[in-house]
């Protein structure tokens, strides 16, 4: 009972487990991120801090704690010191009305910064933590700033708009027009559910917050983001290139499984936090966390078009590329290889001159004239696989290993598929198709795909590190390990990551 009586959890730790796209940050993580900054900043009464997407107020609260200790000698009077810190050094912009109240309660000990319970008296209730319920700017049915659907978010003024202040402007300096911020910290909203294409369909937002943070010209930026930007996709291709070419990114700590950082929160593709230093130019210290184990390397972020997450994979990729072979990417079809969308269903029973159609719903039959793409493939042998990976992106099985491919099969002549599948290769002979399947099922191939996977979707670019082979004979892992001269450690890494396919 004594342990129970002494248990006094930080309420912000509890809140961190109540999240989805707007993930609340545990105090422990906030402090790890603040530890990345030069600690002398917290001894300087002129340094300013901004969390432009505050939710619980945890970053601001922890900054205040550090400044309170760091300025003790310079400003001995506690009330004078707190007034100086809260009124001249620490600022925030809340993402919703509720979080504005929560953040003020965390930082000022009162939701009303002008009230009698506030530890520092401000002339307004908001103090230095702003919030305004602004509207989206609709252009052709979408918000020009965040891409929200007008059909979903054109609500009455009493409803939350989710038009986040910091990114719904061309000039983020307008919120604190006379301020120059030295440090921008926080954990921005990751995506916005627009619920149009399918239920819970979300568009990414976090990159917009990062871009606007840079517009403020701070000295340092340290933020939490999903790791999906490592490989782009979903409108993030330009942003990925922007980040990979930014030599001011000094440090990244990347968690393959987001639950290692946020217990109970599943962020597809994992999550990371980084330090951006305006005065730094060079390679990045990259720390990868997988199965509770950390590996560290000094990396050039833009060495490849995507960022390989596993440090061990990088060495493997370099060894294989030394042979200057082609890759499998040109062999992989685009989505909807024969023109049939995922939901398309043909005729249930076979008929004269029909073509068999494979879909996620089973087998049906179509006419040849219904095929609108790659008609030349119909009479050949096609290797297909599900366009979705076997695992939720970034989440291995209970053994910590991945399968990667889900369904895989060979289609014989007069067989085609819907958008549920990709065509991975087209062959004149069945033997070649079978040999190709033997190659795809090796742990070697699937380990080389892993660095490119940050979502459930498989596409041609996910094969950019997989070398092409001679498919006149079957392949095994042992043959590939020998061909590329892999070491025992490299083989052990592959087999620790990839589980066998039947």
3-class SS at 91?
strand
Report helix angle 97-108 to 58-70, nearest 10.
20
Q: Check residue 233 and give its pLDDT.
A: 67
> Rounded to two decimals, what is the model's pTM?
0.84
Q: Check residue 2 and give its pLDDT.
A: 41
3-class SS at 412?
coil
Q: Check residue 4 and give its pLDDT.
A: 41
3-class SS at 327?
strand
Q: Check residue 100 and give its pLDDT.
A: 94
Q: Which residues of the chain have pLDDT under 50?
A: 1-9, 11-20, 196-200
Under the phi-then-psi rule, with left for phi > 0, alpha for psi from -120 to 50, and beta for the rest, what region is 474? beta
Q: Check residue 1 and give its pLDDT.
A: 36
Q: Check residue 309 and give its pLDDT.
A: 86
Q: Check residue 187 and give its pLDDT.
A: 95
- Using CA of residue 135, residue 138, residue 141, residue 147, what is the dihedral sign? negative
Architecture of domain 9-309: 3-Layer(aba) Sandwich (3.40)
Q: Check residue 8 and give its pLDDT.
A: 44
Under the phi-then-psi rule, with left for phi > 0, alpha for psi from -120 to 50, and beta for the rest, what region is 439? alpha
Interstrand relation of 142-143 and 138-139 (parallel, antiparallel or unpaired): antiparallel
The upper half-sphere exposure of residue 289, i.e. CA atoms within 13 Å in the direction of its Cβ, equals 15
Task: Give dist(CA 218, CA 259) in Å, integer.
Answer: 30
In the chain, what are the domain boundaries? 9-309, 329-497
């Amino acid at each position: 009972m004594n342990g129970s009586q002494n248990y006094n959890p930080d309420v912000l730790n509890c809140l961190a487990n109540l999240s989805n796209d707007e993930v609340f940050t545990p105090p422990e993580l906030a402090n790890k991120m603040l530890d990345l900054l030069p600690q002398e900043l917290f001894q300087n009464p002129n340094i300013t801090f901004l969390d432009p997407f505050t939710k619980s107020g945890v970053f601001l609260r922890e900054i205040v704690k550090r400044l309170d200790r760091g300025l003790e000698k310079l400003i001995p009077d506690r009330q004078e010191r707190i007034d100086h810190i809260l009124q001249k050094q620490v600022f925030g912009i809340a993402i919703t009305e509720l979080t504005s109240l929560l953040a003020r309660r965390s930082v000022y000990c009162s939701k009303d910064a002008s009230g009698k319970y506030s530890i520092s008296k401000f002339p307004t209730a908001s103090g230095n933590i702003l919030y305004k319920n602004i509207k989206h700017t609709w252009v052709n049915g979408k918000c020009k700033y965040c891409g929200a659907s007008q059909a979903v978010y054109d609500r009455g003024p009493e409803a939350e708009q989710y038009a986040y202040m910091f990114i719904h402007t061309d000039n983020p300096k307008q919120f604190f027009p006379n301020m120059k911020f030295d440090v921008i910290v926080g954990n921005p909203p990751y995506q916005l559910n627009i619920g149009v294409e399918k239920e819970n369909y979300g568009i990414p937002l976090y990159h917009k917050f990062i871009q606007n943070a840079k517009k403020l010209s701070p000295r340092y930026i340290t933020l939490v983001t999903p790791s999906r930007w490592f490989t782009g996709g979903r409108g993030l291709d330009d942003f990925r290139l922007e980040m990979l070419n930014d030599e001011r990114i000094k440090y990244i700590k990347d968690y393959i499984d987001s639950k290692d950082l946020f217990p109970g929160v599943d962020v597809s593709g994992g999550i990371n936090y980084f330090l951006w230093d305006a005065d730094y130019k060079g390679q990045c210290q990259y720390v990868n966390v997988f199965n509770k184990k950390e590996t560290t390397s000094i990396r050039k972020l833009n060495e490849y078009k995507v960022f390989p997450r596993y440090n061990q994979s990088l060495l493997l990729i370099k060894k294989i590329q030394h042979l200057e072979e082609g890759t499998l990417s040109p062999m992989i079809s685009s989505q909807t290889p024969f023109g049939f969308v995922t939901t398309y269903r043909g005729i249930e029973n076979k008929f004269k001159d029909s073509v068999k159609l494979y879909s996620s719903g089973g087998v049906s039959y179509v006419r040849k004239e219904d095929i609108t793409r790659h008609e030349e493939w119909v009479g050949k042998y096609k290797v297909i696989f599900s366009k979705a990976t076997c695992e939720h992106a970034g989440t291995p099985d209970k053994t910590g290993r991945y399968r990667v491919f889900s369904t895989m099969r060979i289609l014989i002549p007069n067989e085609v598929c819907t958008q549920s599948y990709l065509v991975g290769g087209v062959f004149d002979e069945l033997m070649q198709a079978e040999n190709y399947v033997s190659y795809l099922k090796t742990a070697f191939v699937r380990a080389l795909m892993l660095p490119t996977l940050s979502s459930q979707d498989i596409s041609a670019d996910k094969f950019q590190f997989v070398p092409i082979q001679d498919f006149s004979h079957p392949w095994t892992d042992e043959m590939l390990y020998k061909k590329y001269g892999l070491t025992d450690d490299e083989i052990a890494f592959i087999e620790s990551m990839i589980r066998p396919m039947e």
